[in-house]
Amino acid sequence: MTTRVEMIIETLRAHPKQRFTARELAREFVLRYPAEMAEKQTNPRYDTEEKLIAQLAAEIGGERTVAAKKLCPNVATRDKPRPRVYFWDTNPQAVAEPAPESVDDEPELAESDIPLVATDLSEQELYPLLIEFLHKELKLYCQRIDERKSKNSHGNGGNHWLHPDVVALEPLDKGWDEVVRSCVRSGHDSSVRLWSFEVKKHLTKGNVRKFFFQAVSNSSWANYGYLVATGLNSDVEAELQMLASLHGIGVLLLNTESLFDSQILIPARERANVDWQSANRIVTENSDFHHYVEQVGIYNQTGRIIKSTWNK
């Protein structure tokens, strides 16, 4: 079977005069590799062509593009202005002028309108894309928190704005000497940071404050809390900057067509210590969050990542 890296190289080689966005490249994959695409669509998550193309576009960026460039110097990208485009560089050794724009290039998009989202993707379908980006680009270990697994012991509405959508562990001690690791574990310092993410589709003037304060409620227990969206209207960024300055929650824009082009629009302000009282409130209600904190404890005590429990 042809790998994604090989697909990138072969497709660009077959179209040396054309430029592609990640989504356009994904459409070419569907045409060129029907057997591989049919096998991928056996996964019910990709049971429509639109879902398949969205996933393929997300898979093209990041590590796969880096690997394709290492294997084949003719593989080239233009990262600015966004969206990123992929093309075949016929003279990769030349320090040269940018390759000419094709007439089929997408128009340049305003900075505030990027990234865009495929309209048929639900919030639930965004979770695995976010997890893939966080793991591959930020090296986080992630888990999904399903609010349907909560006990709701506080009655109707008692868990309102309690659950983050995705949580993550960031190991800080990779590469540390074991003497330092042992010293940190035996003391009061932490060898991890905990992250929390609230996911929404698109931010507008009408919903931005509601969604932001939902992220404050769900995520401010962690070292880093983020509101994630696939896009935003140009008139909401100033409001987000003000709210982030007051409450420390960051904003991450998730590009579903090219995960590599996702960006932290506003960095979260680090909380020095996890608010364990707030975390305990979620633990007592939700089995997914209980499992997450349990795995954080295992890592703190042993330094072991049980890979089967993360990034799914």
Decide: helix, strand or coil at residue 99. Answer: coil
Tracing tokens 């007051």 back to the chain, one arrives at 246
Task: Report whether 110 contacts 81 (CB < 8 A).
Answer: no
Task: Report whether 61 contacts 22 (CB < 8 A).
Answer: yes
CB count, 10 Å around CB of 191? 17
- Written as six digits, the tokens of 87 are 């093309």
Decide: helix, strand or coil at residue 12. Answer: helix
CA gap 130, 200 in Å, rounded: 11
pLDDT tens by residue, 146-198: 988 877 666 565 566 788 999 999 998 777 777 887 777 666 667 799 999 99
With a cut of 70, list the residues of the chain below it in pLDDT.
61-62, 80-82, 93-120, 152-160, 185-189
Closest-CA residue to 278 (of 180, 164, 171): 164
- Backbone φ and ψ of 117, nearest 5°: -130, 145
What's the distance, Cα to Cα, between the start and end of the chain in Å? 24
Nearest 5 degrees, angle CA 49-CA 311-CA 271?
Answer: 125
β-strand pairing of 202-203 with 192-199: unpaired
Residue 230: DSSP 8-state: S
pLDDT tens by residue, 210-244: 999 999 999 999 999 999 999 888 788 889 999 99
pTM: 0.64
